[in-house]
Amino acid sequence: MKITTNEQNHLRTISEKMDSLKSYLISKNEDYKFSICQWYIYISQFKRIMGNLNNDVSFIACILAKQFLTAFHRISSDFDVADKPQGASGLDIDIKTVDGKRIIAEIKTTIPYKPNDLGAQQKKMFKKDFQKLNKESADHKYFFVTEEKTFQIVKNKYLEELKGISVVLVPAALNNSKYIIRVPSDSGY
């Protein structure tokens, strides 16, 4: 799979943030007997250095989804997941294969709030994504997740809402097909 220049630049920015955080942690090698004010200053610096970490995690998940899609479909080499800003409205992925077939996908990096289910807000966001995928017409529809626990929860509780959609755990699905669930359109889930 080809990583575009735009994607490389975005990955470089993430790497630079990680290097900055590492340097900060090394420079602040303390015994952690801080006052509450010092704790706030110390911990809030993580946020200043890393910025919106969720967007960076989502971006990397998009590259994993791209890697999966290019392994299973004929995708143009100029497909660039960095073209769509993380957090922007719309489908996470909406592309055409080289032979004109439409592929759409939603990607979730969610760590479930409950031991065996999603939290209330997580469910709301998942169902919103399920609806986005269900209302669109496409040759291939995917719901990507990055956490095995999330994959198991979706598999056990939500397949009924994903008819005609493949549920994929990345990166595990790249090496093991048991992490790909193709939900038939007429499934009895």
Q: What's 64-120 look like in SS3?
A: HHHHHHHHHCCECCCCCHHHCCCCCCCCCEEEEECCCCEEEEEEECCCCCCCCCCCH
pLDDT at 57: 96
Residues of the chain with pLDDT under 70: 29-32, 187-189
CA-CA-CA-CA dihedral for 119, 124, 127, 132, to nearest 10: -140
- Find out whether 91 and 105 touch, Cβ atoms under 8 Å: yes
Residue 146, both tokens: 């990055």
Dihedral class, residue 147 (left if φ above 0, else alpha if ψ from -120 to 50, else beta): beta
pLDDT at 177: 96
The helix or strand, by DSSP H or E, that contains position 143, with its residue range, turns out to be strand 140-145
pLDDT at 92: 97
pLDDT at 188: 55
pLDDT at 156: 97
pLDDT at 87: 84
> What is the pTM assigned to this prediction?
0.90
pLDDT at 31: 65
Give CA separation, 52 vs 47, 49, 60, 157, in Å. 8, 9, 13, 30
The string of pLDDT tens digits covering residues 135-151 is 999 999 999 999 999 99
Give Cβ neighbours of residue 97 (< 8 Å, ≥ 6 apart): 73, 74, 75, 76, 103, 139
